[in-house]
Structure 1
Amino acid sequence: MQKISLFIKNIRENNFNISFTIWLSFWYIITCLILIFSQNYLFNSFISSFYNQNEKVTLEKNIQEIIRLIDRRENPSRSPFECLFFEVNDNLFFLVEDVTNRKIMFITPGMFKFLYSLRENITENLVTPDDDINIRSKNSKYFYYIKKEIVHNNKVLHIEVLSDKTNRISILTSFKNRSNFISLAILIFFLILSIFISKIILSPIHRIVKKISIITSSNLHERVDIDWLPQEIKIIKNSFNEVLERLEDSFRRISQFSDDIAHEIRTPVNNLKGEIEVTLQKKRTNQDYIDILHSNLEECHRLTRIIDNLTFLSRSEKQNIRIQAEEINVFKELNNMKDLYEGIAEEKFITISLECDKNITAQVDKVLFQRIISNLLSNAITYNKDHGKIKINAIQKENYLHIEVKDTGVGISEKNIPHLFDRFYRIDKARHTSSKNMGLGLSLVKSMVNMHNGTIEIQSKEGEGTTVIIELPLSHQEGN
């Protein structure tokens, strides 16, 4: 087991490229190997123990027979060293000694010579817990030896019995060899079976891999649509399809973003280029040059705003920017923004109203808060109808500041609402409404709301208007 662990460790350290099929087969075979050889070991141990126990019982019975034989044939008139020889069978040898009278009462013919020869050729002694001995001789013969001292008719009798079990051992050895051969054959069979089963188990994964391998950035719309799969692999398939959906959406947004940013930058650059080319065609008055430079400066400011806004969005996503939170009077700030945009709204005869408790305070970044409200009011005016209305409503809800900016403008279709916070995303109508609109306003608003750990939601219906709902924590906690 330790060698197996070292083998696996070496594989991991050297990063060997091993097939998962081989890994499954390897562990399957290791398991089968342990089970088969454990079964063999236990079965062989049981058989050996059974044979030894049976041999011991047989010899015990023989000892009892010898004692009964002593009762029948004992003759006290014989001399102390007189021996009675007889043979029981070819595989059983015994010796009975009267320790009290120092007399050998029974002995198998040739017992002394046999024991002497056996001692000279012993290669292995195995003493059992009962002090019985299994003997193996150099000539590959096996014996079971047992000795007893008993008191019989006021005599101490020493009895030794030796049983030749070579034939039984041969049978057991043959059985073990056949068992090992069968185990090896079964192991080979299971090896082939394990490879076959592993391929069946892994076939769904191979099909998924084959399907995945043909998916590139140009066909992200493809999905892994294999019908029958095990539940565990089906989870992987569904998860991968979800990843593909997110990737497809991300690639689509990146592509759209690239097109939009190129369009946004191209417009001021082309304006600059066109004005400069026209200016250089002939001599101009100083006032003409001043007017053209002012126009060019305006286009440069537009480019700068695009770059600044993109930089802000990028920093807000990649870094935890700490906001400069301070306590403000919400009514005062909203009222200031209302007064600021009322002049612009009057051009379209739009009225702006404010409903807010004058005592509500909140800990926010004052500059970011003003930019949030400014963007929302600017959009509400831009996409509102003439003689329309804009309503600002701010209330305190538990630990949050709840702000709604509602207009009576053209509204937004449901299909466009999920994309309103995407960079440079603009509805077609909006593109024609204002050529100066960069499509970054709501992206910036969402980013600034997130920096306050707040939420933003848009509700809209075409032809009826739009409501933007913002919730900001009343108190700012550093690190949130």
Structure 2
Amino acid sequence: MSLRRLPTLTARIVALFSLTALMTFAGIGTYLYQSLDAQLKLRDDHELLGKVDQLRYLLSQTPSVEAIQKDPHRFYDATGKHEGLMVVLQSSGGLELMRSGLPRSASLPALSTIPADAEPSEEDLTSWKLDENASARVVAAWGKLQDQRSEVRIILARSNAELTTLLASYKKDVMFSMLAGIFFAVLLGYLVVRASLRPIRHIAAQARSISAQHLDKRLNASTAPGELQILVESFNAVLNRLQESFQRLSQFSADLAHDMRTPLNNLMVQTQVALSHPRSQEEYQALLGSNLEEYERLARMVESMLFLARADHAQIGLDWQKLDARNEMHRIAEYFEGVAEEKGVHCKVEAEEGVVVWADPVLFRRAVNNLMVNAIRYTPEGGTIHLRVTPGPDGQTISIINPGPGIDKAHLPRIFDRFYRVDRARTESASSTGLGLAIVHTIMKLHGGRAEVESEPNRFTSFMLIFPKQPDTIVVTGHMANNARDHAGVERNEAWQK
């Protein structure tokens, strides 16, 4: 099933930029159009009111109604120069004295008339529907003749035909300017986005050059813009972890091959020597016994690898229990008592009563047992191994302290790595798989704790298991956890049956 291809970042930004430009230009164009419409209407209204004052002045210079009828040219001259302006003068008795710009057949609307001594205002203007396509603003006012007794009714109207034509033309210009502005804004935005995203393409080109054979390469953060600095640094950090893991995996594979090659070579050489000529029954039995030791070593190595693999994939659940730390230390000391006596080593438990450790009992004992194996192996004859429990505010610390040659500081950071050997000549034996301390470290990670080591050459070595005070969650995964504990028990028992 093919995934739908998402738009590129350039396309998204340009689309958003286009939408922004469209909304901006549309808003500006609408504002300009509405503003011009309002200003032109206001101008026409003021001009219409000014014509009322002008006609009132002309009437004040006219002696009588008959003079208007005889010589209306002054009034035509005052109004005829303005397109769309309509004028009607009526006597106080309703007699029409003159009409300009308005057909005789057109009927006038019913209007309230402004008194002769009142100034007209915008509130006195009324909209008048001329026909389906045109309308006008109209006002009616009284004006006094020269004798100040007779009055003439003035009706003025201004058609919006000219205004409508002007606004239609302006609207076309605004639309054309808006479309042209959007086009150039989008084009400019595309060029700007392309230029702005050039560092990303440069970083992508650097990333494409990184492969399994060139994990030492890193992205150049100095060429990345400020917004991408965190991304570049995070990617370089991922590469650092990947390179470190890759190197450890390569070293692990080499160490695993080396450790498995030794027992396999022993098996092949011993078998070839035995088959070179007939042997006695006792010699064959000795050969089979020797081969069995190598098989057991390989089996322990495989079981340890399976345990570590399951732990890496979170397939091991813990059977959390409250363990009495002092009792557990005494049980472990008794378990190793026979082996310790054979080497002339003593075990001493230093723990207060009532100290509780939250842990899986089998995995807890396995971790401590692995540390005890190393402690007994490297403690000189007559030395004492201390099994110490130290309570703390955040948890309990189990310490295995033994005198002896110690560990050089250069080895301490990698002491818990798989197959890491401080002294290969001393650790290549049938009972050693090179995974004991790695298993201890993994067990502590499963418990949410940690394993630490302190050592001074030719003085002492102290391994510390720091267990949390109480687990945040308690999870049991059934047979997977049981299998892990069974494997732990098998390896521990086989290591000490010899």
* TM-score when normalising by structure 2: 0.78
* CA spacing shift, 1:358–1:115, aligned 2, 3 Å: same
Partner of 1:452: 447
Which one-letter code corresponds to 1:419 in the other structure? R
Query: Structure 1 residues 175, 381: CA separation in 2 closer, same or farther (over 3 Å shift)?
Result: same
Is 2:187 the partner of 1:192? yes
Is the Cα–Cα contact under 8 Å of residues 356 and 394 in structure 1 kept in the other structure? yes
Aligned partners of 2:127 and 2:137 also within 8 Å? yes
Aligned 8 A contact 1:326 1:366 in 2 = yes
Alpha-carbon spacing, 1:265–1:156, altered in 2? closer, same or farther (3 Å): farther
User: Following superposition of structure 1 onto structure 2, how do residues 33-72 of structure 1 map, counting pairs within 5 Å?
Assistant: 33-72=22-61
Give how far 1:456 is off: 1.7
SS of the aligned residue for 1:423 comes to coil
SS in 2 for 1:373: helix
Equivalent residue for 1:282, pick from 277, 282, 285 = 277
Contact 1:82 1:105 in 2 (8 A): no
- Counterparts of 2:169 and 2:394 in 1: how far apart (Å)? 87
The match for 1:309 is 304
Q: How many residues align?
A: 449
Give the secondary-structure state (helix, strand or coil) at the position aligned to 1:69.
Answer: helix
2:218 counterpart of 1:229: no
Query: In structure 2, what is the Cα distance between the partners aligned to 1:477 and 1:52?
Result: 76
The one-letter code matched in structure 2 to 1:344 is: V
SS in 2 for 1:246: helix
The residue number in structure 1 matching 2:404 is: 409
Q: Distance between the aligned counterparts of 2:186 and 2:408, measured in 1? A: 63
Moved more, 31-40 or 95-104: 95-104
Offset, 1:356? 1.7
- Higher normalized contact order (CA 8 Å, seq sep 6+, divided by chain length): 2
Deviations 1:125-183 (A, max 9, x none): xxx99643587998xxxx772222345569793614235763x6666555555554444
How many angstroms does 1:234 deviate by? 0.6
Counterpart pick for 2:463 among 453, 464, 468: 468
Instruction: Please say if residues 84 and 107 of structure 1, whose CA atoms lie closer than 8 Å, have aligned partners that are also in contact.
Output: no
How many Å apart are 1:301 and its aligned residue? 1.7
Equivalent residue for 2:360, pick from 362, 365, 368: 365
Check 1:476–1:66 CA distance in 2 against 1; reply closer, same or farther (3 A cut).
closer
Q: Counterpart in 1 of 2:486?
A: none
- Partner in structure 2 of residue 435 of structure 1: 429
CA distance in 1, matches of 2:18, 2:320: 66
Kept in 2: contact 1:133–1:144 (CA 8 A)? yes
1:258 paired to 2:247: no
Residue equivalent to 2:416: 421
Question: 1:161 maps to what in 2?
Answer: 157
SS of the residue corresponding to residue 215 of structure 1 reads coil
State the SS of the aligned residue for 2:474. Answer: coil
RMSD: 3.5
Q: Please say which of residues 225-234 and 342-351 is displaced more in the overlay.
A: 342-351
Q: Which residue of 1 aligns with 2:81?
A: 90
Give the TM-score, by structure 1 length.
0.81
Q: Relative to 1, partners in 2 of residues 1:313 and 1:55: Cα closer, same or farther, differing over 3 Å?
A: same
**Could you tell me how far apart the structure 2 residues matched to 1:242 and 1:195 are?**
33
Query: How far has the Cα of 1:104 moved from its partner?
Result: 0.8
Q: Which moved more, 1:93-102 or 1:445-454?
A: 93-102
Post-superposition CA distance 1:280-330 (Å, at most 9, x none): 333333222222222222222222211211222222332353333444443
For 2:349, the equivalent position in structure 1 comes to: 354
Which has the larger displacement, 317-326 or 47-56?
Answer: 317-326
SS of the residue 1:352 aligns to: strand
Opposite residue 442 of structure 1, the aligned amino acid is L
Which whole-Å deviations, capped at 9, do the CAs of 1:386-424 have from their partners, x for residues lacking one? 554432221322463222112233333344323222222
Residue 201 of structure 1: CA displacement?
Answer: 1.8
The offset of 1:54, in angstroms, is 0.3
Q: 2:375 aligns with which of 357, 365, 380?
A: 380
Q: Describe how 1:228-247 pairs up with structure 2 within 5 A.
A: 228-247=223-242
The 3 A distance-change label for structure 1 pair 240 and 478 is closer
Structure 2: distance between partners of 1:94 and 1:473: 98
From the superposition, tell whether residues 324 and 181 of structure 1 become closer, same or farther in structure 2 (CA, over 3 Å). Answer: closer
What residue number does 1:397 align with? Answer: 392
SS in 1 for 2:429: coil
Q: Distance in 1 between matches of 2:207 and 2:394?
A: 48
CA contact (8 A) 2:318 2:360 kept: yes
The answer as to whether partners of 2:357 and 2:396 remain within 8 angstroms in 1 is yes
In structure 1, the gaps of 5 or more residues are: 1-12, 117-127
1:104 alignment partner in structure 2: 96
Check the 8 A contact 1:323/1:365 in 2, yes or no: yes
Distance 1:448 1:77, change over 3 A: closer
Change (3 A) 1:23 1:134: farther
